[in-house]
Amino acid sequence: MVMLTKIKTTTTQTMKRKNYEEVRDAVRDVGEERAKKTHDLYETVDKNLERYREDATGRGDFGAYIQFRGFVAGVEKEVEDDDVHMSDAFESAMSHLDARTLRDKHFRRARAEFEEVEEFVETYERYKQLEEELGDELRSLEKRADVLEDEIDDAEERLKKAREADEVDASPLREAVESYNRRVREEFDGFVREASAVEVARLGEKTLDAPLVDDAPIERGTTEKLARYVDDEKAERVLELADSSDAKLSHFVDDTEGFRASVPRTFFETASAERFELSYEPEGVVRRRVPELVRIVSSFADEETVALLRKVGDMAERGEYEPMRNALVAGEEAGAETDELEETLEELRDEKEEVEERASRLRSTLDE
């Protein structure tokens, strides 16, 4: 379908270019300035023949008759030189309008003299129309070529990154990070469901002392306040109680307002393991961040999960991390495999070459 559309578009453009060349040659044989003057004069005559036909004939408006006579004399004077193409047709037409008393027949005879002029005027208008259309098309092609140039530069850069990524086996780091992130999400979700609300709040407070771990939405001292009201209740149950009426809640605690104020609602409602996950950060950041994560994650995750975390930290300490990290980042930025990018780049270059060829042909046609 794309190929058929391209062939159809190319054929249409070729026909339009040939049509333009025909009308252009007809106009330029006369001379563009002379052709334009002929066109403009005919437009003026045509408009005035229609305008004055009723008022200047028979017993119409005498003032209009005088005005029209002046107009006819002006046209006769204008076509005396050779600046108007087919001036004899204009002269013949005006001669029919020299009658002392004008009638419809004089206007009909005048118009009959303009048959060939009308054809030339249509040719000139078609020439200007096609010139504008082809000019618009040329500008569109030039704009498309610029866009393709940018896309080619982008594809070349992405291909370079993909090739860089292919040079390094980054699977040890990728597998460790992906496995750790998967396990830490599962275990954190289980911890929030099964642990007491106090333990969950205590975990949130631990993030406040870890500069490279995003703080949980919890205030320091929250655990101590909450522990005054609850013991083994889960976070979900604590939220349920906080949402209950004073009458119902008073069966559970004496100080209902104090209880509600102690509940870290935002943290409980939005708790996720995202702040404990790993991304491909620079090696120096990883060396400092992993120990912070180990201290917090070991509070709820099993040893295998913590071991994966330490494995990534060890890679950073041994200097193995950065090359693999660079390859993984380059692969992400490439956004595709090397083979796919090479094919895309070839298609873009082919399209740009075709667009530039079409633009060149148009430019040559318009410049001739």
pLDDT digits (tens, 9 = 90+) for 209-264: 999 999 999 999 999 999 999 999 999 999 999 999 999 999 899 999 999 999 99
pLDDT at residue 52, as a whole number = 73
pLDDT at residue 226, as a whole number = 96
The residues facing 40 across adjacent strands are: none
Q: Mean of the pLDDT values across residues 164-182?
A: 94
Q: Give percent above pLDDT 70 in the chain.
A: 94
Q: Whole-structure pTM over 0.75, yes or no? A: no
pLDDT at residue 331, as a whole number = 87
Q: Please tell me the least confidently modeled range out of 95-104, 175-184, 198-207, 275-284.
A: 95-104
As a residue count, the chain comes to 368
- The better pLDDT of the pair 290, 48 is held by 290
- pLDDT exceeds 70 at position 7: no
| d(C-alpha 170, C-alpha 334), whole Å | 15
Q: Residue 83 is which amino acid? A: D
pLDDT at residue 234, as a whole number = 96
Q: What is the mean pLDDT of the chain?
A: 89
Half-sphere exposure of residue 25, counting CA atoms within 13 Å on the CB side? Answer: 6
Q: Residue 4's pLDDT band (boundaries 50, 70, 90)?
A: very low
| d(C-alpha 198, C-alpha 224), whole Å | 8
Q: Mean of the pLDDT values across residues 125-132?
A: 92
- pLDDT exceeds 50 at position 126: yes
188: how many CB neighbours lie within 10 A of its CB?
23
Q: Are 199 and 304 spatial neighbours (Cβ–Cβ below 8 Å)? A: no
Q: Mean of the pLDDT values across residues 113-139?
A: 92
Model confidence pLDDT, tens digit, residues 267-279: 999 999 999 999 9
What's CA 205's distance to the chain center, in Å? Answer: 44
- pLDDT exceeds 60 at position 106: yes
What's CA 87's distance to the chain center, in Å? Answer: 54
- pLDDT exceeds 80 at position 3: no
- The better pLDDT of the pair 80, 233 is held by 233
- The better pLDDT of the pair 113, 14 is held by 113
